[in-house]
Structure 1
Amino acid sequence: MPSTSLSQAEAQLYTLLVESIFWGLHVVSLVFCLRCLLRVEDRWKKAAEISKVMLCVVLLMACIGTLDLVMTMAANLNTLAARDGPGNSFNSSGWIDIIGVVDVIVQIILGDVMLIYRCFIVYSRSWRTILVPLVLACCGIVLIILVIFFQITLPSGAQLASPYFQLTIAAWAMTISINIITTGLIIYRIWSVDRNNLQLMNVANRHVYRNAQRVIIESGLLSTTVTAITVVVYITGSQVFSPLTGIDIQVVAIAFNLILIRVHHNRSLEARHATVTLGTSHPPVGPVARRSTLRFAPGTTMLSSVDGGDTVLLSVNVQGSESESRINPLESVDEKSTKHSSDLGHSIETKDVGRDASTPSSSVFTSHV
């Protein structure tokens, strides 16, 4: 009866196949992500408007994913050459495998660091909030350095019987923990802002927060699920670990790109809808329109954008006792709205039309980050 387990050569071939498919998805998401980062509406962004950090991370993840695919192709060619040559045997402990391990590790570190950074921004740059994920990330980096050391110094046959195996599992566990904790913190922050601003919004406009939660949950679930499956397969010692590793390195970048794409898409829809709302607003009746200065009461929650350095349009329409707030909760939350934040560089301009409460009025807030 033929064996159903994969040989190492077959696993390498399957890895090349599935990683090529997911690399193609990665490239598609990269194109859309670059469009979001480099263009606004119908023009290219100026250099000052481009988020340099996000752009560098997106391009670096793309380079790492491409390099890993190239290494997978080289491993397959190495396997074929070893089989054709007399007296040669398959060697998995060469520089190709070392580079492949480094690719996966660097990609995962980038994903974890950017997720912690998002959590840091969402909580108004609170170091106390990200203390646990930051400690886990530091421990993970130490474990990863040890994993690379053992990968270089130990032959492949001795790795499973050495601390390499335990260190690898611990490093994966750190990554999963960071994903779960930071994603949960971000979702809780968005939910709490939604609850606090419930009195300021119509029910129809709460979809902004629901969209934010859905974006974070779906992207975090995608990355965490693939990583968890990869760890389970690695513990069992199956050769399926190699294809799953190829998938994981691409999925980490895809999940990161999807957040940027969907944030940009939701922001564009909100800005377009706000423009339409302002364009169809009724002209002032009664007292002459005048400029006034808006002051937020203590405890009022306001949101700002830190993503691409874009200008985020926040509109509030007030009529009688009914209020409507259009805001973008995906990137940052600032609870200290009574003063300007020097590090984020907020600039708020307000125009109030009409003084009578019965007269429709509109306020437009433009936040430059």
Structure 2
Amino acid sequence: MSSNENVSPDFSSLNLSVCCSNSKRPKFNMISNAGATLVGAFLECLFYGIYIVTMLDTLRCILLRPPSNPSDATHLNRWRKPTGIRLITLAISLALFINCSSNLAFGIMNMIQIYILREIKKPSYWINIARPFNVATQNILADIFLIYRCWVVYDRSWAIIIVPALVWVASTVLSIYILIIRTRGALEIVGVPSKSLPAFLASQFATTIAVNIYATAFIVYRIYITDKQSRRVTLDLECREGMSRTTSPGQPNRTHLQRVMRILIESGLSYTLITVVDFICVIKNSTLALIVSAINIVVIGITFNSIVIRVAAERARLRREAVGGSQMTTLKFASRLPVTRHSLALAQDLGSTSQASTPRGTEQDADEKEDLYP
């Protein structure tokens, strides 16, 4: 092979978001498919390193529980009881990590075959089929778990998740159809409708964005309403019993639920923004979609882990304040709030450390039963 030959292997099947190699390249494409894939692989490895760090911290939050007394430096690595482990959260986090790791391994293996072993004429078809499957699986898992949390926060109301569930089903069907097209294309089967692939990809991304915005907005709205009602009752109790709320100078008087809302909004915003960018790249038929989609699959896992870690850190802060008596928070009055099916379900699901969520009223029970993902 001459060194002057311009070898540009077709990487279009390495990711779910691709450009049609046979179509005329738009003017804003300043990088080839091969170059975009190399840049995407580099950034994916970079973000994967961040993902590993967050994954280890997430497992610590799920499997280990903090000491009953935050000032106690001993017994910091106490394992949770099996009944205190959120199995669904653990299963989803492990599934996302395994899926993301396999996708990165397949990509590195394929580039080794092409650039080092020079197996351009004999590509590994199974790798070109497996990577789009990894990307589709990552989106499906993230969306279904988001819908599940929305269902739990609304006291397991099926009516509230009818719309996102139907959109998720449509997204899953589109993903399956896209995988069928990719499989037929990788196997060089005649009659593959490759020209219609960008339209199906754009539709699939649109459904993912819709599910993310809907579920996140409804969860945040539910927490906002509960926090508003909780503060109203808290103010009444303080006036009635002569209590006063003390806060540090220069710090805003934010409640625990307000901090949880901020965590959800900030974490979900990163995933939504990168999905929107990927969606735009697909519509514009840009090779940048190869870069963005490589990052997107890792960002999904990082977003999931960041919510678990930040909520656990917020709960630890709340526990320290409760033990030190430095601040009376709205959650401390949960046992005096009007008990309804919806309020009790939300209080338990958000991992309140009050007696409303701990039948025996002990700190150990609160540590065992706390929810790491609101």
| TM tier relative to shorter chain | 0.7 to 0.9
In 1, Cα distance between equivalents of 2:327 and 2:40: 54
* Equivalent residue, structure 2, for 1:65: 100
Gaps of 5+ in 1: 281-293, 316-336, 338-345, 352-364
Alignment deviations for residues 137-158 of structure 1 (CA, whole Å, 9 cap, x no partner) = 1111111111111111135898
Q: 2:52 aligns with which of 27, 31, 53?
A: 27
Query: Does residue 147 in structure 1 map to residue 178 in structure 2?
Result: yes
Matched, 1:108 2:108: no
Provide, for residues 267-304 of structure 1, a one-character-per-residue CA deviation record: whole Å limited to 9, x for no partner: 11112211222999xxxxxxxxxxxxx77646694443
Distance apart, 1:119 and its partner CA: 0.7
* CA drift at 1:25: 0.8
Quick check: which has more Rg, 1 or 2? 1
Alignment counterpart, residue 175 of structure 1, candidates 208, 213, 227: 208
Q: CA deviation at 1:226?
A: 0.6
Contact 1:223/1:255 (8 A) holds in 2: yes
Report how many aligned residue pairs link the two structures.
306
Distance in 2, Cα, partners of 1:350 & 1:278? 21
From 257, 262, 285, the equivalent of 1:209 is 257
Distance 1:53 1:350 in 2: 25
Which of 213, 217, 227 does residue 184 from structure 1 map onto? 217
What are the Cα deviations for residues 13-50 of structure 1, in whole angstroms up to 9, with x where unaligned? 11221000000010011011011001111212122221
Quote how far apart the aligned CAs of 1:71 are.
1.4
8 Å contact kept, 1:150–1:159 = yes
Q: Which has the higher contact order (CA 8 A, sep 6+)?
A: 2
Which structure shows the bigger proportion of residues in helix conformation? 2
TM-score normalised according to structure 1 size: 0.74
**How far did residue 171 of structure 1 move?**
1.0
Question: Given residue 58 of structure 1, which amino acid in structure 2 is its aligned partner?
Answer: S
Residue 162 of structure 1 aligns to a residue in which SS? helix
Equivalents in 1 of 2:288, 2:361: separation in Å? 59
Compute the displacement of 1:161 (Å). 4.2
8 Å Cα contact 1:143/1:171 also seen in 2: yes
1:224 and 2:272 correspond: yes
More strand by proportion, 1 or 2?
A: 1
Residue 42 of structure 2 is matched in structure 1 by: 17
Aligned to 2:30, the other structure's residue is in SS state coil
1:56 aligned to 91, 107, 113, which one?
91
* Shift in Å, 1:221: 0.5
Question: Counterpart in 2 of 1:241?
Answer: 289
Q: Which one of 124, 130, 153 corresponds to residue 161 of structure 2?
A: 130
- Closer, same or farther in 2 for the Cα pair 1:161/1:297, shift >3 Å? closer
Q: Supply the AA of the counterpart residue of 2:276.
A: A
The residue type equivalent to 1:236 in the other structure is K
1:347 positional shift = 5.0
| Distance verdict in 2 for CA 1:366–1:65, change over 3 Å | closer
Question: Stretches of 4+ moved more than 3 A in 1?
Answer: 88-91, 155-163, 201-206, 294-303, 346-351, 365-369
Cα deviation for residue 235 of structure 1 reads 1.9
Instruction: List alignment gaps of at least 5 residues for structure 2.
Output: 1-26, 67-75, 236-244, 248-252, 329-334
C-alpha separation in 2, matches of 1:296 and 1:14: 54
Structure 1 range deviating more: 40-49 or 145-154:
40-49
- Could you say which residue in structure 2 is the equivalent of 1:361? none
Q: 1:163 to 1:223 in 2, by over 3 A?
A: same
* Letter aligned with residue 101 of structure 1: P
Equivalent residue in structure 1 for 2:61, among 27, 36, 39 = 36
Q: TM-score, normalised by structure 2?
A: 0.73
Contact 2:147 2:165 in 1 (8 A): yes
Structure 2 vs 1, CA of residues 99 and 28 (structure 1 numbering), >3 Å: closer, same or farther? same
* Structure 2 residue 111 is the aligned partner of structure 1 residue 76: yes
Distance (Å, rounded) in 1 between the aligned partners of 2:358 and 2:128 = 51
Per-residue deviation at 1:6? 1.9
Whole-angstrom CA distance in 1 between matches of 2:326 and 2:30: 64
RMSD across aligned positions (CA): 3.2
SS of residue in 2 equivalent to 1:126: coil
Q: Corresponding residue for 1:262?
A: 310
Q: Which secondary structure state, in structure 2, belongs to the residue aligned with residue 166 of structure 1?
A: helix
Task: Mark the CA change 1:227 to 1:90 in structure 2 (over 3 Å): closer, same or farther.
Answer: farther
